[in-house]
A and B are shown apart, each in its own frame.
Chain A
């Protein structure tokens, strides 16, 4: 009965490779997010989708491309991975984008680029 799930949990890869992270939520929420958490534990929003439509696209290299096939799924594809991409990536969802709505987080994907 996991609310927000991500796969894989761990991802170790070489520089220059292309990889994808998948996210699914079974809460019936309209809005989904991708966050990056660096070694200092800061959570930074990368993307936000509302009903499959891109709403927020922070200053993120265009090597990162989100895809939302339906409102329950938001995948993250990363091209030409770099050392600095190593971090924990969290997917989250909320009922909608209006004020005060709680975001629910997945377990995270730990990406290590060698």
Chain B
């Protein structure tokens, strides 16, 4: 069965303290892995799409990487405004998105 597991559930960091969020997946026929950011009371906002193992993408303090079993979202020197829930989703061979439960990231000033 296709599945996406994100860890940790919640992560508290001090401003400037770098860390990584994990997204492990099992899927038949991966067509893409997506990272989204969701702020309280808002809809998910697209960050990255990764298509194949070894691929990396960067945006400001965020960098997403992909292997055959998992993806990491690295956050370098985070700021309080990076606080949000980060969601991972994989697209299967039927083009459906399977979502993880998210990691709630809190950056303390």
* Cβ 8 A contact of B101, one of A42, A45, A108: A42
Main secondary structure of the interface of B (DSSP, over half): strand
A100 at the interface (CB under 8 A from B): yes
Q: Which among B45, B85, B97 has the greatest number of chain A C-beta atoms within 10 A?
A: B97
Nearest A residue to B38, CB-CB: A41
Would you call B44 and A99 a contact (CB within 8 A)?
A: no
- Whole-angstrom distance between the Cβ of B50 and the nearest chain A Cβ: 9
- Whole-angstrom distance between the Cβ of A78 and the nearest chain B Cβ: 19
Per-residue CB proximity of A44-82 to B under 8 Å, as 1/0? 110010000000100000000000000000000000000
Would you call A99 and B95 a contact (CB within 8 A)?
A: yes
Per-residue CB proximity of B21-51 to A under 8 Å, as 1/0? 0000000000110101010011111100101
Nearest A residue to B33, CB-CB: A100
Would you call B85 and A108 a contact (CB within 8 A)?
A: no
Main secondary structure of the interface of A (DSSP, over half): loop
- Whole-angstrom distance between the Cβ of A99 and the nearest chain B Cβ: 4
Residues of A within 8 A of B71 (CB): none
Would you call A42 and B99 a contact (CB within 8 A)?
A: yes
Residues from 78 to 98 in B contacting A, C-beta threshold 8 Å:
85, 87, 89, 91, 95-97
Would you call B43 and A105 a contact (CB within 8 A)?
A: yes
Known: A98-B95, A102-B34. A41 touches B102 (CB 8 A): yes
- Report the 7 A-B pairs with minimum CB-CB distance, sorted nearest first: A105-B43, A99-B31, A100-B32, A43-B99, A105-B44, A102-B46, A97-B95
